[in-house]
Amino acid sequence: MTLTPKNAGWIEVICGSMFSGKTEELIRRLKRAEIAQMKTAIFRPAIDDRYEKEHIVSHNQSKLKSYTVEKAVDIIPLTNNANVIGIDEAQFFDEDIVSICRELAGNSCRIIVAWLEKDYQGEPFGIMPELMCEADYVSKLRAICVVCGDPANFTQRLSKETRQVVIGETDIYEARCRGCYKPPDKS
């Protein structure tokens, strides 16, 4: 059993590769908070235009109403005194996301953050390692490798695009295990 603080906020992190169920787990936790009559506020980055603008949506189409914001600092004015705050696809926010999460947790909020742990090169995604160090609880999820069926912890980009951020789905990415993952050619 995990004990949680009674008189303080905290930060929960849900991380993993693409298709590992991060958003699904975020939605599950937020729905449980709503059942418990807690006030929630949910945020998603504007850059992620794969689904509906006013919802976070998992790959299996589970969804919750959310705010779409451009920058991390836009989150605080929209929390509306919520005591449970969900943030999806945090890797797409600017570096202020860490201080925003820290500030909200310091105000006795439960913060649940989901993000892509590694980029397509298999490297930590931006400022996410700093947020992971700030977290009180970490859940690392794994997908299923589409090549061999083993647990997958890498996101294989199928296109030749070299920008770190390329928004896409199964048309551009696959979940791969360490053995089946092929790092991009760095030449």
Active site residue ranges? 89
The Cα angle at residue 101 between residues 95 and 107, in degrees rounded to 5: 145
Cα separations in angstroms, 35 against 25, 32, 57, 80, 119: 15, 5, 19, 18, 34
Distance CA 185, CA 183 (A): 6
**Of 7, 2, 1, the residue nearest 110 (C-alpha):** 7
**Of 136, 86, 134, 133, the residue nearest 114 (C-alpha):** 86
- Beta carbons of 177 and 19 less than 8 angstroms apart: no
Q: What are phi and psi of 124, to 5 degrees?
A: -55, 140
Distance CA 152, CA 34 (A): 31
